[in-house]
């Protein structure tokens, strides 16, 4: 029902919608913390929200600002049953772009520009879907709203603020991910730990070690500076561990020391099996070296036991749990630094629906402290997010997706988080089709125009079906 009218609306308004996407793409809206209303995230975000408000009003929609954090867009005063949640802030540009990042270049069926896929293109698509639904059926018994926020890329303080001011509808989806439907987002738990000691000068010794540089990524590179090790033995051990781990080791002379650099493959911390952890391979290599007995060596060996190379699920920590709904938990030993007088390290884990503070957090703490390693503080776990697949809302999304794409509508669980992680009844739905790499957060980010168009039609159908 309504499909013919939906197709006609977007055939008529396609160019207008693309032009409006380009209007917001031309605004540099990298979010910054520390501002005050009406610009809590900086001038660029403020300008993008204002431009989106203009577009919404031009479409005949109503707009309700939220102190510079977000805007609410509606088509009627009926109670809202559904929210479409998108954001207008973007990540920094970086170097090496072929297309101007803040222009909106259309070429070969794609729109290029920072935010074209994440998430300005989907945001404007959502406005058009709301306008289309209101035009096609102005007598819907329930309302829908589009929420456009300004700070998703810096942790979503915009939506946290929004929820202190506005009551969310019972159902929501965010077009800030991939199709088909993401209904489960694993929880997040991490710990920082370490030890201190007086400098130990017996040789051979570890002078320094530097592993990962960001907490939510598998370290691609890690290096250690060693004093008093013979080059021949070092080469033999590197050859042995390279064969075992799949990590390449490079040896370089630095004064009286040798630097050993491990080269693996990076991956997001939510998918550590897709990477090769250079840090854990280096720790295992060091644990196999005949270093002088010391607190440093004792802690190296402890870390090798707690985070053995290839253990991407926390098995050694005793937290390798899984469930049928969300699959197996993952863990990345992501950061580590040794100096002459101590070390600090941290891991990032993504926790399945059956995980909690007791069977993950407490167990990990006991395992680490049992090795004599100290944990200065512990942050609470970010709980998993789960919207049941059986809900009529989710079934509506599946049905509409299948009708418009001809592909099977499925629910999937991910280790990352989306814009609806803290919103009860929320899922991620679109705007990227399976197999499309939009280069989100990368150089020459783009959105496929055909995917934006079919998303607009599906969103309109979902609004009509949910609010009729």
CA count, 13 A, side-chain hemisphere, 89: 29
pLDDT of residue 268: 87
The answer to whether residues 411 and 303 belong to one domain is: no
9 lies in a domain?
A: yes
Q: Is 395 helix (H, G, I), strand (E, B) or coil?
A: helix
Task: Say which residues have a Cβ less than 8 Å from residue 85's Cβ, sequence separation at least 6.
Answer: 146, 147, 149, 159, 172, 173, 174, 176, 419, 420, 423, 426
pLDDT of residue 223: 98
The answer to whether residues 112 and 192 belong to one domain is: no
180 lies in a domain?
A: yes
> Among the three residues 370, 403, 436, which one is the final residue of a domain in this structure?
370
pLDDT of residue 280: 98
> Among the three residues 370, 399, 426, which one is the final residue of a domain in this structure?
370
Whole-prediction pTM: 0.84
The answer to whether residues 46 and 178 belong to one domain is: yes
375 lies in a domain?
A: no
> Among the three residues 370, 400, 424, which one is the final residue of a domain in this structure?
370
Residue numbers of the domain that contains 348: 187-370
Quote the CA–CA distance of 453 and 455 in Å, as a whole number.
Answer: 5
The answer to whether residues 45 and 111 belong to one domain is: yes
Q: Is 333 helix (H, G, I), strand (E, B) or coil?
A: strand
Extract the tokens encoding 384. Answer: 């998993």
pLDDT of residue 439: 92
The answer to whether residues 285 and 319 belong to one domain is: yes
401 lies in a domain?
A: yes
pLDDT of residue 201: 95
pLDDT of residue 94: 87
Extract the tokens encoding 5. Answer: 């009218």
pLDDT of residue 356: 96
377 lies in a domain?
A: no
The answer to whether residues 446 and 390 belong to one domain is: yes
Secondary structure of 144-165 in the HEC alphabet? Answer: EEEEEECCHHHCCHHHHHHHHH
The answer to whether residues 311 and 418 belong to one domain is: no
CATH number of the domain within which 353 lies: 3.30.70.360
CATH number of the domain within which 437 lies: 3.40.630.10
379 lies in a domain?
A: no
- Number of compact structural domains in the chain: 2
pLDDT by residue, tens only, the chain of 468 residues: 899 999 999 999 999 999 999 999 999 999 999 998 899 999 999 999 999 999 999 999 999 999 999 999 999 999 999 999 999 999 999 889 999 999 999 999 999 999 999 999 999 999 999 999 999 999 999 999 999 999 999 989 999 999 999 999 999 999 999 999 999 999 999 999 999 999 999 999 999 999 998 898 999 999 999 999 999 999 999 999 999 999 999 999 999 999 999 999 999 899 999 999 999 999 999 999 999 999 999 999 999 999 999 999 999 999 999 999 999 999 999 999 999 999 999 999 999 999 999 999 999 999 999 999 999 999 999 999 999 999 999 999 999 999 999 999 999 999 988 999 989 999 999 999 999 999 988 999 999 999 999 999 999 999 999 999
The answer to whether residues 217 and 102 belong to one domain is: no
């Amino acid at each position: 029902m309504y499909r013919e009218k939906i197709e006609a609306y977007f055939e008529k308004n396609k160019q207008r919608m693309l032009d409006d996407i380009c209007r917001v793409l031309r605004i540099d809206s990298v979010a910054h913390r520390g501002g005050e209303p009406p610009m809590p995230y900086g001038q660029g975000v403020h300008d993008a929200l204002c431009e989106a408000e203009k577009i919404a009003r031009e479409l005949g929609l109503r707009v309700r600002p939220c102190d510079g954090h977000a805007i609410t867009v509606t088509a009627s005063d009926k109670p809202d049953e559904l929210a479409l949640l998108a954001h207008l802030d973007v990540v920094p540009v970086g170097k090496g772009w072929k297309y101007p990042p803040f222009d909106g270049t259309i070429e070969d069926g794609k729109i290029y520009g920072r935010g074209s896929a994440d998430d300005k293109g989907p945001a404007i698509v959502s406005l058009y879907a709301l306008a289309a639904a209101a035009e096609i059926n102005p007598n819907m018994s329930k309302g829908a709203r589009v929420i456009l926020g300004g700070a998703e890329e810096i942790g979503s303080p915009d939506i946290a603020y929004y929820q202190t001011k506005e009551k969310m509808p019972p159902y929501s989806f965010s077009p800030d991910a991939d199709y088909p439907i993401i209904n489960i987002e694993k929880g997040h738990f991490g710990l920082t730990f370490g030890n201190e000691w007086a400098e130990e000068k017996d040789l051979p010794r570890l002078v320094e070690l530097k592993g990962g540089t960001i907490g939510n990524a598998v370290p691609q590179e890690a290096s250690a500076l060693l004093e008093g090790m013979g080059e021949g033995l070092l080469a033999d051990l590197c050859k042995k561990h390279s064969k075992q781990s799949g990590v390449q080791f490079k040896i370089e002379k630095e004064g009286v020391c040798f630097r050993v650099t491990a080269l693996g493959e990076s991956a997001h911390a939510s998918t550590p099996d897709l990477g090769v952890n250079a840090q854990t391979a280096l720790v295992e290599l060091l644990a196999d070296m005949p270093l002088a007995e010391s607190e440093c060596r004792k802690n190296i060996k402890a870390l090798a036991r707690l985070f053995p190379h290839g253990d991407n699920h926390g098995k050694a920590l005793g937290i390798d749990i899984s469930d049928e709904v969300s699959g197996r938990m993952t863990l990345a030993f992501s950061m580590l630094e040794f100096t002459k007088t101590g070390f600090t390290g941290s891991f990032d884990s993504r926790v399945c629906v059956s995980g909690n503070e007791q069977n993950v957090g407490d167990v990990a703490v006991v395992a680490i402290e049992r090795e004599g390693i100290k944990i200065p503080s512990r942050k609470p776990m970010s709980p998993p997010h789960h919207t049941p697949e059986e809900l009529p809302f989710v079934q509506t999304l599946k049905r509409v997706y299948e009708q418009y794409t001809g592909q099977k509508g499925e629910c999937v669980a991910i280790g990352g988080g989306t814009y609806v992680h803290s919103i009860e009844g929320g899922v991620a739905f679109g705007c990227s089709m399976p197999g499309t790499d939009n280069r989100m957060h990368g150089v020459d980010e783009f959105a496929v125009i055909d995917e934006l168009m079919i998303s607009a039609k599906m969103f309109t159908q979902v609004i009509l079906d949910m609010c009729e």
